[in-house]
A and B are shown apart, each in its own frame.
Chain A
Amino acid sequence: EAGVAQSPRYKIIEKRQSVAFWCNPISGHATLYWYQQILGQGPKLLIQFQNNGVVDDSQLPKDRFSAERLKGVDSTLKIQPAKLEDSAVYLCASSLGVGTTGEKLFFGSGTQLSVL
């Protein structure tokens, strides 16, 4: 079974530039998540989609971050413009999304972003 695919693996940009990350979840998984993991911290949820609708984006800095999940499958996360504090690993995860106890998250390998 194919896992969660993310690209690129690494990205280095200068502050104020734009960047986009792509995620393809496990086939059949209705729920897709974007997490931000800053060095030394645990993953922090940025946005959660159920199919192509947003469930939770309360911690997404909407002045610079945006995300979409067209057709309820692939998703892109964009940062525009980037700041130094955005340097982190951006993890995409998916789950079946049936909403019952016992669900598990499956993570991609992440995109490591360095903002200089």
Chain B
Amino acid sequence: DQQVKQNSPSLSVQEGRISILNCDYTNSMFDYFLWYKKYPAEGPTFLISISSIKDKNEDGRFTVFLNKSAKHLSLHIVPSQPGDSAVYFCAASPTGNQFYFGTGTSLTVIP
């Protein structure tokens, strides 16, 4: 039972443009959401998070938006850079320290 879904396996974007990665979840108990970035042969690294009491969190070029009623979140990267090319995983957590991951979206930023 996949509680966190990323329906786009891959995304290609031109350098300088916006990248939008989407994530949907089914469990209404999730109240904390994270995005991780993964390069080949490395473990995932934390990118940005958002709590359910907010609908937006911004960190430099990265912004995460949360729509609780739709159980949907998205990660915006503006402007996209070639170094952003990686696999992006969203993860969701109920209060506590359990984490459920999506299947990932492979982002390619074309120079």
Known: A101-B32, A102-B51. A109 touches B42 (CB 8 A): yes
Known: A40-B103, A42-B102, A101-B32. A109 touches B95 (CB 8 A): no
Distance of A45 Cα from B1 Cα, bound (Å): 13
Q: Closest Cβ of chain B: how far from A93's Cβ, in Å?
A: 8
A89-106 Cβ-contact flags toward B at 8 Å (1 or 0): 001010101111111111
Distance of A33 Cα from B101 Cα, bound (Å): 13
From B32, B96, B101, contact of A42 by CB (8 A): B101
Distance of A48 Cα from B99 Cα, bound (Å): 10
Q: Closest Cβ of chain A: how far from B7's Cβ, in Å?
A: 13
Chain B's interface size range is 20 to 34
The answer to whether A48 and B98 have CB atoms under 8 Å apart is yes
Contacts of A109 in B (CB 8 A): 41-43
From B43, B89, B95, contact of A110 by CB (8 A): B43
Tell yes or no: A72 within 8 A of B by CB: no
Tell yes or no: B85 within 8 A of A by CB: no
Contacts of A42 in B (CB 8 A): 4, 6, 89, 101-104
Total A residues in contact with B, Cβ cutoff 8 Å: 31
Tell yes or no: A21 within 8 A of B by CB: no
Interface residues of B in 42-70 (CB under 8 A from A): 42-46, 49, 51
Known: A42-B102, A43-B89, A101-B32. A107 touches B97 (CB 8 A): no
Distance of A38 Cα from B76 Cα, bound (Å): 26
The answer to whether A103 and B97 have CB atoms under 8 Å apart is yes
Tell yes or no: A25 within 8 A of B by CB: no
Other A-B pairs beyond A40-B9, A104-B46, A107-B44, 6, CB < 8 Å? A43-B89, A99-B95, A100-B96, A101-B32, A102-B51, A105-B44
Which residues of B pack against A, CB within 8 Å? 4, 6, 9, 31-32, 34, 36, 41-46, 49, 51, 89, 91, 93, 95-104
